[in-house]
Amino acid sequence: MRALLQHHRTTSHRSPAHRAIRPSPIRQNLQAVIIRTGSVRTPWAEDLPANGLNEPPFLDPPRMAKILVCVAWPYASGPRHLGHAVSTFIPADIFARYHRMKRDEVLMVGGSDMHGTPVTVRADEEGVPPNVIAERYHALHERNIEQLGVRYDLYWNTADPHHKAWVQEIFLALKAKGHVYEAVMVSPFCTTDQRFLPDRYVEGTCPHCGFPRARGDQCENCGNLLDPFELKDPKCKIHGTTPIPKETRHFFFRLSAFEKPLAKWAAKDKEHWRHHVLTFMRSWLREGLKDRPITRDLDWGIEVPVPGYETKRIYVWFEAVMGYLTATREWYRRGNQPDGWKDFWYDPEARHYYFVGKDNIVFHAIFWPAILLGSDAKLDLPYDVTATQYLNFSGEKMSAGRGKGVWLSDLLERFDPDQLRYYGVATMPETKDTDFEWEDFAQRNNSELLAVYGNFVHRALTFADKNFDHAVPAAYFLDAADKKMIRAIEQQWNKVGQNLEYVHLKDAMKEAIQLARLGNQYFDQKAPWELIKKDRVACGTVLHVALRVGRSLAIIMAPFLPFSSSRLWRALGYDTDVHAQTWDEALEDVPTGQALRVGKPLFTKIDLSDTKETPADRFDLRVAQIADVQEHPNADNLYILEVDIGGERRQIVAG
């Protein structure tokens, strides 16, 4: 643990002091001009005011919005699949990057969930202590997140002593107010090794959808939360035996007391919420809220700060959601501003966005707001819970728990992270489940990202490089088609921005690609390869306008595709960082005479013969130990074998 924490300290992220790159007052006024008039800033005389001076009018600078980007905490229990990235940190990253470019005050926090039974289940399987598993996969998540270009302000973990201390503080505050109380409950008890079974150690058939291997806490198939005894035919995951009900003492959160305040909150100002999230939340409230246990019989997790509870731990759902608040506190603590977090949590104008998968809606739209209301009614509640549906692999949900899915770490070894981000957004399950398909992945990369965007900028760059002395040619007289192209930049920029404001990321990226498509049409219509033979000056103007579109694309695409935007920015001759540009600077012109640095095309083609799974990949081959053999009751030549495949028992029939 020490090594882990030290690692964290050395990689600690930007401190508050040098985080915000404040735009100059002049820049702010220019932004205001654009917002007010919607005009494109062009360097040509026709756009200048009568006095010839390009001075902005005196306007109040626009107010910076305060945006807290909260990303669901992945369990540090195994590798993550692409579906997880697509419902949590990729959309969060796009949204945060966009708001940083708008110069809003952005803080993006999250980390690895080190506790809970997913970690202990894996530790039991491998025969190692849980912290070994948690630290291993926390390090993997951190690496994958960096490889994907996802930029948290703080990627933390719930094993940190500060998180523990602040969680215990909130626990005791809720207890002092009477929102947390003690009661006796009945829990499944395994008679084989004489212990209480945490929910994930019990499996059975889901009473709602009939899924045969639903867990004791939640059905992975239909998303319903479950009680272990609701399962049909519950079994101990380790021993395969039927657990018995036994009484045990625990703390409960008085969720029922928050039914009315939550219903009031759920009915107000939710027009911007996704329909499926609202439906889910309101149906929960209609059915009525029940108090829930917040401690359990387990030795891995945060200690309960009450004598007599030494063998129990705080339930992971209760402490992990607090991580958004504790991570904000931690980020300011590292910047030597111990009270700075209050700016984000007590400002009614601050907007908190939660990026989660649909199985997490109830925790973020019901439980967490109730905890916040119970702790301090002045704390900010979620502004939006932008939950996604599932990205499926061959029609089944990608699940880390079931070992199914396209592992992020494998994909990152084989593909450009921008190709993964592009496909992730293009198939993003914002409103309904979608599928990951290898053919579709290759096709969308090759026919959209590469053929439309990559191809357009490569054509413009190579043509200018070859015919105009490796530099941006000058623009002279603009005809109607040139002006139309320049107007299209602003129109598409507007559409992308509007969609991003409402977290419609798929549509936002479509509009960005549309700008490249219009660029290709303009290029084809102007046919510079013909024009150069007749009118070199007019041809230079076409290339200037095309490179200007390329420049705008580098900025507009930066939140979605950070790596290729940097490459394009450099190819256009800039030494600065495209990610340090403001969103409004997408409308500026490219400087005449700037030397180009034309290199390889932005994207490479995906060849399916490299990526297609081999026939052996279709099977999950395992060596099993035969634990028991019985004669088949209905067939003389068959036997029923009980086999152990490493912590899990299956029955098979053999001849």
Query: b/e string for 557-572 if b means 16 or more Cβ within 10 A?
Result: bbbbbbbbbbbbbbbb
CB of 12 or CB of 248, closer to Zn ion: 248
Which residues make beta-bridge pairs with 156?
111
Report the residue from 239, 246, 517, 579 that binds Zn ion according to the rule CB under 5 A. Answer: 239
225 touches Zn ion by CB under 5 A: no
Which amino acid makes up residue 275? H
Distance between CA atoms of residues 417 and 561, nearest Å: 8
Best CA proximity match to 78, nearest among 131, 129, 119, 126: 119
CB of 224 or CB of 443, closer to Zn ion: 224
CB of 222 or CB of 531, closer to Zn ion: 222
Task: Locate 220 and state its tokens.
Answer: 């992975």
CB of 57 or CB of 647, closer to Zn ion: 647
User: Which listed range, 207-215, 314-322, 370-378, 493-501, lies at the site for Zn ion (CB under 5 A)?
Assistant: 207-215
CB of 361 to Zn ion, least distance (A): 15
342 touches Zn ion by CB under 5 A: no
579 touches Zn ion by CB under 5 A: no
Report the residue from 222, 257, 306, 452 that binds Zn ion according to the rule CB under 5 A. Answer: 222
219 touches Zn ion by CB under 5 A: yes
Best CA proximity match to 430, nearest among 373, 481, 386, 474: 386
CB of 198 to Zn ion, least distance (A): 11
Task: Locate 81 and state its tokens.
Answer: 């699949």
CB of 219 to Zn ion, least distance (A): 3
CB of 83 to Zn ion, least distance (A): 18
Distance between CA atoms of residues 219 and 208, nearest Å: 9
User: Which listed range, 37-45, 163-171, 172-180, 219-227, lies at the site for Zn ion (CB under 5 A)?
Assistant: 219-227
Task: Locate 507 and state its tokens.
Answer: 């549509």
User: Which listed range, 100-108, 216-224, 399-407, 445-453, lies at the site for Zn ion (CB under 5 A)?
Assistant: 216-224
495 touches Zn ion by CB under 5 A: no
Best CA proximity match to 122, nearest among 648, 651, 649: 648
User: Which listed range, 200-208, 319-327, 473-481, 588-596, lies at the site for Zn ion (CB under 5 A)?
Assistant: 200-208
Report the residue from 12, 131, 147, 221 that binds Zn ion according to the rule CB under 5 A. Answer: 221
CB of 33 to Zn ion, least distance (A): 55
From the number of C-beta atoms within 10 Å of its C-beta (0-12, 13-18, 19+), residue 483 rates as middle
Q: Provide the 10 A C-beta neighbour count for residue 542.
A: 27
CB of 104 or CB of 203, closer to Zn ion: 203
190 touches Zn ion by CB under 5 A: yes
Report the residue from 6, 11, 39, 192 that binds Zn ion according to the rule CB under 5 A. Answer: 192
CB of 40 or CB of 238, closer to Zn ion: 238
CB of 255 to Zn ion, least distance (A): 22
CB of 199 to Zn ion, least distance (A): 14
Distance between CA atoms of residues 506 and 527, nearest Å: 32
CB of 220 or CB of 490, closer to Zn ion: 220
208 touches Zn ion by CB under 5 A: yes
CB of 237 or CB of 421, closer to Zn ion: 237
| CB-based contacts of 157, cutoff 8 Å, min separation 6 | 4, 8, 76, 111, 112, 113, 114, 134, 138, 163
Distance between CA atoms of residues 295 and 115, nearest Å: 13
72 touches Zn ion by CB under 5 A: no
206 touches Zn ion by CB under 5 A: yes
First CA to last CA distance, the chain:
50
Number of residues located near Zn ion, criterion CB under 5 A: 12
Give the count of alpha carbons within 13 A of 120, CB side only.
Answer: 16
Distance between CA atoms of residues 417 and 420, nearest Å: 5
Best CA proximity match to 412, nearest among 116, 53, 82, 16: 82
CB of 216 to Zn ion, least distance (A): 12
Residues forming the site for Zn ion (CB under 5 A): 190, 192, 206, 208-209, 211, 219, 221-222, 236, 238-239
